[in-house]
Amino acid sequence: MLYRKLGKTGCDVSVLGFGCMRLPIIGGTSAVDLFDPNKPIDEMAASEMVHYAIEHGINYFDTAYPYHGGQSEAFLGKHLKPYREKVFLATKLPTWLVQGQHDFERLLSEQLKRLQTDYIDFYLLHGLNRQAWASMKELGALDFLNKVLADGRIRFASFSFHDDVKIFKEIVDSYDWAMCQIQYNYFDEYYQAGKEGLKYATSRGIGMVIMEPLRGGKLTDRIPEKVQRLWDSASVKRTPVEWALRWVWNHPEVSTALSGMSSMAQLIENLRIAEDAEADTLSGSELQVIAEVCEAYRGMLQIDCTGCAYCMPCPNGVNIPLNFSLYNDSFMFKDEDLNFMLYNHLLTPEQRASHCAECGECEEHCPQQIKIPEELKKVHARLAQ
C-alpha cells in the first residue's frame, strides 16, 4: 500500500480509503437500499472486507451518521475496535439535524457511542453548501469544533462539500480546517469545488480526501460501446475502474480516494490498482484517452445524478435515484426496451416519476442541485408506456 501525507495534519494515510456508505447488505442492492434501516448490513461479508483491508494496508475509514440507515457507524465501531490505534476514523456531523446548539453535543455523543471510541480522528461538517454553511455559522458550529478539539473528542476539524467553488473558497478561508472532502473524478474535474478548489485548499495546507472517484459506479458499470472502444484504443490496457482511480491518484494534491466497495472482489481489485497509485505518472496520450471518454459520456448523460440517495426517502414514495438511472440508461445504452420494462413493471406506481407531488423536499438535500421535480416529468414522459 502506498501512503501520502494528509495536508498539515502530518498523518500518513493510505491512498485507498475505505468508504462505508456502500457495504454489502442483505435483501437489496440499489442505492436507496443502502439508506434503508430495514435492509441490514451483511455483517459477515462486510467484516471480512474490513479485516482484509486493514491487513493489506488501508488505514483510513470513512462513514457518516445516515449511512445504511444509521447502521454504518455502529458496524464500523464494532469491527474497528481491535485496530482503533492503527487506523484513522472519519465520520460526519449531520448538519441538517442541528436545530440548536444542544444538538451538536447530542449528535457527537451518539456517534462516539455508536463508534465505540473516545475520539474521532476526522470529524466533518457533512455536505456543506451555501445554506448549510450559513446555518452552521449561525448555530455556532465553529465554536463547537474548537471546544471538542480542545477536549480531545476529535483530532481534526473537517468538512465535506457540495456546491460551487466560490462558496467553497469562502468556507476554506473561514476556519483552520485540517481536511476537506470533495467530489472529484475525470467527469467532474470542473464541477462543484473541482480542480480549482482542490488546488486552492491544498495551497493552504488542507488535506484532500476524494469522494465519488467512480461517480457512484457510473464510470464503471455497463460501459457504453462508444466508451469501450475508446478504452480499447489506448496503448495501455486497463479496466474502467483502474482508469478512473488512476486519474484521481495522478493528482499530487489528493491524499486518499474513498471507494465505496460492496464486495470482496471490488476490494481486491482496488487494492491491486492502488499499488501503482503514484502521482504524475499518466502519460499525455493516456490523459487524452480519458478526456475523450469524458466527452463521450457528456454527450449521452441527461441527468447529472450520482445515485447518492441523499434525496431519499421521498415523502410521496418516489424512487428518485432509480428513476434517474433508468432515464439516463435509456440514452446511454442500446437496450431501451429493458428500461421501459423496468420502469413500468419493476417500479410500483408510487415509486414512478409520475407520483411526484412537487413538494421540493428532495431538492433541499440534492448534492448535485438537480431540479428533481422538473426532471421527473421528463422521466415519465420518456419511459411511461
Any idea what DSSP says for residue 347? S
Cis peptide, bond prior to residue 37, ω within 30 of zero: no
CB distance 62 to 20 below 8 Å: yes
What's the average model confidence in pLDDT over 265-284?
Answer: 96
Any idea what DSSP says for residue 163? S
Specify the pairing of strand 3-5 against strand 12-14: antiparallel
Count of alpha carbons within 13 angstroms of residue 325, beta-carbon side: 21
pLDDT at position 342 is 78
pLDDT at position 120 is 98
What's the average model confidence in pLDDT over 178-195?
Answer: 93
Lowest mean pLDDT among 208-212, 258-262, 347-351, 355-359: 347-351
pLDDT at position 30 is 56
pLDDT at position 338 is 67
Which cell goes with 239? 479496466
Lowest mean pLDDT among 166-170, 200-204, 264-268, 310-314: 310-314
From CA 84, how far away is CA 104, in angstroms rounded?
24
From CA 206, how far away is CA 172, in angstroms rounded?
9
pLDDT at position 176 is 97
CB distance 213 to 259 below 8 Å: yes
Read off the pLDDT band of 3 (50, 70, 90): very high
pLDDT at position 39 is 82
pLDDT of residue 254 exceeding 70, the answer is yes
pLDDT at position 298 is 83
What's the average model confidence in pLDDT over 193-218?
Answer: 94
- Torsion angle of C-alpha atoms 327, 328, 334, 336, degrees rounded to 10: 0
CB distance 185 to 219 below 8 Å: yes
> What pLDDT digit, counting tens, does each position of 10-62 carry?
999 999 999 999 999 997 655 556 666 678 999 999 999 999 999 999 999 99
Read off the pLDDT band of 235 (50, 70, 90): very high
Domains of the chain in sequence order: 3-297 (3.20.20.100), 320-383 (no CATH)
pLDDT of residue 164 exceeding 90, the answer is no
Higher pLDDT, 139 or 304: 139
What's the average model confidence in pLDDT over 165-180?
Answer: 97
Contacts with 186 (C-beta within 8 Å, 6 or more apart), sequence order: 219, 243, 244, 247, 248, 290, 291, 293, 294
pLDDT at position 217 is 82
Element (H, E) at 148: helix 141-150
Region of 360 on the Ramachandran plot (φ > 0 left; ψ -120 to 50 alpha; else beta):
left
Element (H, E) at 200: helix 194-202
pLDDT at position 131 is 86
Lowest mean pLDDT among 16-25, 94-103, 289-298, 337-346: 337-346
Nearest residue to 91 (alpha-carbon basis) of 154, 44, 10, 149: 154
> What pLDDT digit, counting tens, does each position of 60-89 carry?
999 999 999 889 999 999 999 999 999 999
CB distance 182 to 198 below 8 Å: yes
